[in-house]
Structure 1
Amino acid sequence: MTYDATGRLLLTPVDKEGPERARRLLRLDLGRRPEAAFDLFADRLAEVAGAPFAGVNFIDGDRQFFAGLHTPDGVRPSAASRSVARDHGYCPHVVARRKALVLDDVRDYPRFAGNPVVDETGTRSYLGAPLLDDRTGLALGTVCVVDTEPRLWGRSGLATIKAMAGELMHIVRGRGDPTGKFSRAHPS
């Protein structure tokens, strides 16, 4: 957990499902390397949202890994530079909340304004939705878009990011356990 300088404001949410999520991601072979299909998905997400950055992010107990990434210059970072600490960015909040997160201007929210990505990458606005595994009930990660300028994402942005998360989960559902033998009663 990361707290602000006063020690009162929790900046990174507690993640009780991290170990279980890490096992599920391992079983699905997700979040360990970049994947062309996820890069292409991130490209399309950036185009649909009109955002300079987009990602397909899987979060285990300790870190985040962008298996799909779109950047404004089109350069795909190496696998090593796609992994970030769990306390960087806003995706861990989406996973903990299990709901989409809309930040038109991150500086308007004390909990989020001090996040390292604000200064390191110039993030000013964020829109993300969880990738919910219907077999286990876990939030495996997120799809997200980021802008370096404040953005009014609005209801259409929220609807778009949720729809894109659902679309990506159709791709993920076919991985790992095609028999469907793993269910909520027997999380993997």
Structure 2
Amino acid sequence: MMYDPTGHLLLTPVDKEAPARVRRLRGLGIGQRPEPAFDAFAERLAELTGAPYSMVNFIDVERQFFAGLHTPEGACFGAEPSADAGAPAAGGGEACRYMARDHGYCPHVVVRRKALVLEDVCEYPRFAGNPVVDEIGIRSYLGAPLIDRTGIVLGTVCVVDVEPRRWGRAGLDTIKSMAAELVEQIHRREDGGI
């Protein structure tokens, strides 16, 4: 849990479900390595929304991992939070797929268990102080939870932009339907399907 020392706002929500999520992700064999199918999904999501960045994000106790990632050519979105990781790699490398749990808005989506639309993060004091605003330049966010058949929120699908975006009802409907589609893919995979 992280508080803003100036405004005493809770910036990162308490996530009591994290240990169960980690067990479920390990059981599914996802959330620890990049997967081409998730990268393809993120690319399709970016195309549908017109967003420059999109992610399939799985969240554990301390960090987020983008198992699916689409960025503009050569851009790095995340960075390995451990001190021994060195400088973040460019071009969507492995280090670009990690982000500290207190960065970004996906942890809010996971705890809320519902979609979050931030057309301009600077309009919301609770979200404007997030490190991704200053460190990466994020100005808008659209994300939905991946709630699996056990009721556990595995992570999120999300898109972000460095400019304010009017996602509108169409954007919200798109992100929610894409989240449902990805959960179905994960279930088919677990059941032995493709």
Alignment TM-score, normalising by the size of structure 2: 0.88
Asked if residue 130 in structure 1 is aligned to residue 175 in structure 2, the reply is: no
Match of 1:28 in 2: 28
Asked if residue 101 in structure 1 is aligned to residue 116 in structure 2, the reply is: yes
Secondary structure of 1:149's aligned partner: coil
Question: What root-mean-square deviation, in Å, do the aligned CA atoms of Structure 1 and Structure 2 show?
Answer: 1.4
Q: Could you list the runs of 5+ residues in structure 2 that have no partner in the other structure? A: 76-90
Alignment of 1:168-183 (within 5 A): 168-176=182-190, 178=191
Match of 1:182 in 2: none
Q: In the TM superposition, what is the alpha-carbon distance from 1:7 to its structure 2 partner?
A: 6.3
Alignment of 1:8-157 (within 5 A): 8-73=8-73, 76-134=91-149, 136-157=150-171
Secondary structure of 1:175's aligned partner: helix
Alignment TM-score, normalising by the size of structure 1: 0.90
Q: Per-residue displacement from partner, 1:132-152 (whole Å, max 9, x unpaired)?
A: 011x10110000000110011
Question: Runs in 1 of length 4+ with deviation above 3 angstroms?
Answer: none
In 2, Cα distance between the equivalents of 1:9 and 1:27? 35
In 2, Cα distance between the equivalents of 1:80 and 1:133? 27
Q: Per-residue displacement from partner, 1:136-178 (whole Å, max 9, x unpaired)?
A: 10110000000110011111100000000011111111234x2
In 1, Cα distance between the equivalents of 2:74 and 2:42? 11
Q: In the TM superposition, what is the alpha-carbon distance from 1:8 to its structure 2 partner?
A: 2.3
Secondary structure of 1:174's aligned partner: helix
Q: Could you list the runs of 5+ residues in structure 1 that have no partner in the other structure? A: 180-188
Q: Per-residue displacement from partner, 1:29-64 (whole Å, max 9, x unpaired)?
A: 111011000001000000000100000000111110
**Counterpart code for 2:108:** H
Tell me if the contact between 2:57 and 2:157 (Cα under 8 Å) persists in the aligned partners: yes
Q: Per-residue displacement from partner, 1:67-108 (whole Å, max 9, x unpaired)?
A: 000001166522233111111100000000000000000001
**Counterpart code for 1:48:** L
In 2, Cα distance between the equivalents of 1:154 and 1:92? 22
